[in-house]
Amino acid sequence: MDILLKSARIIDPESAYHNKVRDILISGGVIQQVSASIPLTNEMQVLENIYISQGWTDSSVCFGEPGFEERETLANGMRTAEKSGFTHLLINPLTHPVVDSQSGVVYIKNKTAHCAATAHPIGALTIESKGEYLAELFDMKKGGAVAFGDYKKAISNSNLLKIALQYTQPFGGIVISFPNDTKIMGKGVVNEHIEATRLGLKGIPALAEELMVARDLAVLEYAGGKLHIPTISTAKSVALIREAKAKGLDVSCSVAIHNLHFTDEVLENFNTNYKVLPPLRDTANVQALREALNEGVIDFVTSDHNPLDIELKFKEFDWAAFGTIGLENAFGILTQYTSIERSIQLLTSARKRFGIPSTPIIEGTSADMTLFTPEGSSVFTINDILSASKNSAFIGETMKGKVIGVIARNQLVLN
């Protein structure tokens, strides 16, 4: 099928056509022609007056399968991602069994091979994500794993982190270290702040995150290697990572879209969809995250998409599981806090960090792109949720712009 994009505005700094309006002809999954005007034929599918960029990448997604299919299957999860504008997904090992071997990595790759989007498994850093012994990292790398981390579980053993950073250096592996001191967190469920006190909920101090960020960076400085710190949520974390980058340490970080958008003031009604880890912080910390978006300290934004069935969420706040879905909302929320060009950069830069080839919008390149418009707004409702699980913190929130679809792997997926 031939696809003609008429009068498409290209947002791609790697392309000579960046910020220009062009017609683009795609045939056989390859960009055949980019021109001011391309004549239309009857065999073409035409899309007009849209924005396009390289396909977006989400660095932290959970789908459940294998083992937790009641939360989300790979098939529906991948289709949800495609309709949300993502063509590359880093899939966390929050599965049963945990993806801690090459066979687990290959299972996810094979099960999603037919999809327009590409799955990039994150292998567990430790066996069964128990934090005791390193998993078979090199074997998983050969199978297609792009990084190694235990989802939402901190590496409490500093020596294990040191060994992991050293072991992965010969093959360029990236270690993911979730920053949370569980001893300081204790039984906390929300940010330690006036809201927690007012609502009678146990607090999680910002210190629980910041101590681990400081420790991780100290170990990285000693051992070398590549470190990714996911979903930071405090101003001090931003400052520590800014300082580490100034020293030349090979570290990246992300922020979850919900931590960027909400403050802990939304907890008023004890809605468990707002129970996330790290917790929603106070206004000062959230403002610091927003300001850091344009600095380059925050490398990319993630949905931190975590589908959870009703039995895990529909219970007392203290006992509900941490997590919200967010694939459907990442773009519509992010564009409210930064420019469209910076938004696209934050949604695509994980590619380079995790070794996923870029696909600049030029002639002869495979078509791997997201179609969208930054114009217009809408209110997100429960009927807009594409995921199998409905635990969304964004119900009732205003979305800016709209995802139209994706073109990838010689497939066109439209909303």
Q: What's the pLDDT tens digit per position in 6-24?
A: 999 999 999 999 999 999 9
Q: What's the pLDDT tens digit per position in 231-285?
A: 999 999 999 999 999 999 999 999 999 999 999 999 999 999 999 999 999 999 9
The dihedral formed by the CA atoms of 383, 118, 152 and 219, expressed in degrees to the nearest 10: -150
Task: Please report the pLDDT score of residue 43 as a whole number.
Answer: 85
| Every domain range in the chain assigned CATH 3.20.20.140 | 55-354
Tell me how far apart the alpha carbons of residues 100 and 338 are, in angstroms, rounded to a whole number. 37
Q: What CATH class is the domain 55-354?
A: alpha beta
Q: Has residue 364 got a pLDDT over 80? A: yes
Q: How far is CA 100 from CA 40, 126, 133, 139, in A?
A: 50, 7, 11, 10
Tell me how far apart the alpha carbons of residues 151 and 126 are, in angstroms, rounded to a whole number. 11
The gap from C-alpha 415 to its chain's centroid, in whole angstroms, comes to: 20
Q: Has residue 105 got a pLDDT over 90? A: yes
For 401, list phi and psi in degrees, rounded to 5: 80, -175
Out of 150, 216, 304, 368, the active site residue is 304
Q: What's the pLDDT tens digit per position in 315-324?
A: 999 999 999 9
Tell me how far apart the alpha carbons of residues 30 and 339 are, in angstroms, rounded to a whole number. 29
Q: What is the mean pLDDT of residues 113-138?
A: 98
Q: What is the mean pLDDT of residues 327-332?
A: 98
Q: What's the pLDDT tens digit per position in 29-51?
A: 999 999 999 998 888 999 999 99
- CATH number for the domain whose boundaries are 2-51+363-379+395-414: 2.30.40.10
Tell me how far apart the alpha carbons of residues 362 and 123 are, in angstroms, rounded to a whole number. 33
Catalytic site includes residue 304 = yes
Secondary-structure breakdown of the chain: helix, strand, coil percentages, each rounded to the nearest 5: 35, 25, 40
Task: Categorize the per-residue pLDDT at 200 as very low, low, confident or very high, splitting at 50, 70 and 90.
Answer: very high
Task: Please report the pLDDT score of residue 398 as a whole number.
Answer: 98
- Of all residues in the chain, what percent carry a pLDDT higher than 70? 100
For 67, list phi and psi in degrees, rounded to 5: 105, -35
| Every domain range in the chain assigned CATH 2.30.40.10 | 2-51+363-379+395-414
Q: Has residue 1 got a pLDDT over 90? A: no
Task: Please report the pLDDT score of residue 41 as a whole number.
Answer: 86
